[in-house]
Amino acid sequence: MKLLRHGAPGAEKPGLLDAEGNIRDLSDHVDDITGDVLGDAALEQLRALDPASLPLVSGTTRLGPCVGGIGKFLCIGLNYHDHAAEIGADIPAHPILFLKANSAIVGPNDDVVIPRGSTSTDWEVELGVVIGKTAKYVTEAEALDHVAGYCIVNDVSERQFQTALSGQWTKGKSCDTFGPTGPWLVTRDEVPDPQALGLSLEVNGKRMQTGTTGTMIFGVAQIIAHLSQLFTLHPGDVISTGTPPGVGMGMKPAPVYLKPGDVMELRIEGLGQQRQTVRADV
């Protein structure tokens, strides 16, 4: 099942994607796609609905972030062997964790805005994991049972803010629009192995990133188990699990960064695609 949110920013309605690729409205059945409806029992009730009986939504409608009311937006850094190698970083002994501000979250096709003073805005296609069941002190064997589903995240990053402004990476990760999420939340029954998904990102039609979740240093189950030892994961929390090689800061002979007018296109196998136009803040 592919769940989504459609409509104007701040006024999104719940929906799903039917087998023919049409958007169907779920407003008569749930208020929103939030942690309250991401448990197994609630998802099973939605799965039992006949999509053909649901109101049809125009295919031109805006798609919002596929999850509303996100509690925590957790991100894992340097989590691909080949990405760590391209930027000359050591392989971490434990998952590197930072948080992205929820105010960065936008829809999958909304504009990405380069903030004032930015010189180094970069792209990162990532597998997003959405928690569906409260997780505290879970084992790796139990971890995936706590997942509602998966989505695409573009972990847009301002590298100078991230590295030169002192403090945590969060400074360069949390600018407005730096968290496109969606287009839909694909429930875990449709993703039998989250470590076997191809990822790609293009800028202006040129392939920049090509990778597979199979090269993660810490897999999804490891990440969930690790984080759950530190704090409780709640339904609706999102974990962005790191990016494969091909980011702008790793380009040779010199880094390449986003500029106004650039277009990013992101894809993850089975999870759809995103498309963002870059513009400058005013």
Which amino acid, residue 92?
A: P
pLDDT of residue 275: 98
Strand 105-106 to strand 179-180: parallel, antiparallel, or no bridges (unpaired)? parallel
Strand partners, 153: 126, 181
- φ/ψ of 232, rounded to 5, equals -80, 135
Q: Does any domain span residue 275? A: yes
Q: Does any domain span residue 74? A: yes
214-246 per-position pLDDT tens digit: 999 999 999 999 999 999 999 999 999 999 999
Total tally of structural domains belonging to the chain: 1
Q: Does any domain span residue 4? A: no
CATH code at position 207: 3.90.850.10
Q: Does any domain span residue 72? A: yes
22 vs 192: CA distance, rounded Å: 24
Q: Does any domain span residue 238? A: yes
Q: Does any domain span residue 46? A: no
Q: Which residues of the chain have pLDDT under 50?
A: none
Q: Does any domain span residue 42? A: no
- CB-based contact 202:127 (threshold 8 Å): no
Domain boundaries, position 254:
68-280
pLDDT of residue 112: 98
pLDDT of residue 44: 98
Whole-structure pTM value: 0.97
CA distance readout (Å), 268 to 50, 162, 173, 195: 27, 26, 21, 12
CA distance readout (Å), 270 to 62, 112, 131: 20, 24, 18
Neighbouring residues of 98: CB distance < 8 A, sequence distance ≥ 6 = 75, 77, 168, 169, 170, 173
Strand partners, 253: none
Q: Does any domain span residue 126? A: yes
Which amino acid, residue 258?
A: L
97-106 per-position pLDDT tens digit: 999 999 999 9
